[in-house]
């Protein structure tokens, strides 16, 4: 699944901390920073989005879940 969370990351240090928190969660396979440096995109299998948002709120005081999408593998062509 792909989770997009809006987090107020003003500096590179804050961006690094947010990525470390996200990577520490169970089931995360990749983390990237989205547009305008205020969105964190987390991709993984079985990631608890609410728990991830709570962990980010402890450090940044503001973390809002923008979207949670199921990533489907491409269908093999016959």
Domain boundaries, the chain: 2-69
- Are 4 and 18 spatial neighbours (Cβ–Cβ below 8 Å)? no
In terms of Cα–Cα distance, which of 40, 31, 35 is closest to 59?
40
Report the CATH architecture of 2-69. 2-Layer Sandwich (3.30)
Residues of the chain with pLDDT under 50: none
pLDDT score of 37: 76
pTM passes above 0.85:
no
Query: What pLDDT is recorded for position 12?
Result: 84
Closest C-alpha to 4, from 24, 36, 58: 36
């Amino acid at each position: 699944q792909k989770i997009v969370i809006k987090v107020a990351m003003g500096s590179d240090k804050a961006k690094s901390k947010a990525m470390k928190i996200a990577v520490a969660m169970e089931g995360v396979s990749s983390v990237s920073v989205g547009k305008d440096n205020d969105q964190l995109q987390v991709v993984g299998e079985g990631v608890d989005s609410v728990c991830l948002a709570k962990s980010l709120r402890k450090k940044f005081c503001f973390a809002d879940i923008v979207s949670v999408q199921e990533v489907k593998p491409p269908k093999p062509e016959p």
